[in-house]
C-alpha cells in the first residue's frame, strides 16, 4: 500500500529544468516536498527520499496527508472501551 501511495504521489510531480542546467521537482499538495539535482534521475531519487521522510513525520505527528488514488495513510482514532 505504501509503495502504491508513493508511486501515485510521484505521478503528480512536476519537474523544471533550471537555468544552470540542474533540475527542480515538487509535488503539488505536499507542502515542503521538493528536490533538486544535477540530472532528472538524481532529482527524482531525492524527491522520493524527501517524500518518504515527509510522510514519516506527518504520520508520526498524526497530521493529515493527501489521499492518493483512494489510498489514505491517515490514522483514524478508534474508540476504546
For 33-78, what is each residue's pLDDT tens digit? 999 999 999 999 999 999 999 999 998 998 999 988 888 887 776 6
pLDDT at 74: 77
CB atoms closer than 10 angstroms to residue 73: 16
**pLDDT attached to residue 75:** 72
Alpha carbon distance 7, 43 (integer Å) = 15
Structural domains in the chain, sorted by start: 2-60 (3.30.160.250)
- Rounded-to-integer distance, Cα 29 and Cα 33, Å: 9
Reported as a single tens digit per residue, the pLDDT across 9-30 is 999 999 999 999 999 999 999 9
Name which of 31, 30, 33, 36 is nearest 15 in CA terms.
36
Whole-structure pTM value:
0.85
- Grouping H, G, I as helix, E, B as strand and the rest as coil, residue 26 is strand
pLDDT score, position 25: 98
Amino acid at each position: 500500500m505504501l509503495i502504491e501511495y508513493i508511486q501515485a504521489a510521484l505521478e503528480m510531480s512536476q519537474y523544471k529544468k533550471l537555468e544552470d542546467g540542474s533540475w527542480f521537482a515538487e509535488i503539488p499538495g505536499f507542502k515542503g516536498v521538493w528536490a533538486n539535482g544535477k540530472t532528472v534521475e538524481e532529482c527524482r531519487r531525492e524527491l522520493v527520499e524527501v517524500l518518504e521522510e515527509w510522510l514519516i513525520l506527518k504520520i508520526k505527528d498524526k497530521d493529515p496527508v493527501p489521499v492518493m488514488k483512494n489510498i489514505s495513510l491517515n490514522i483514524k482514532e478508534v474508540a476504546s472501551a
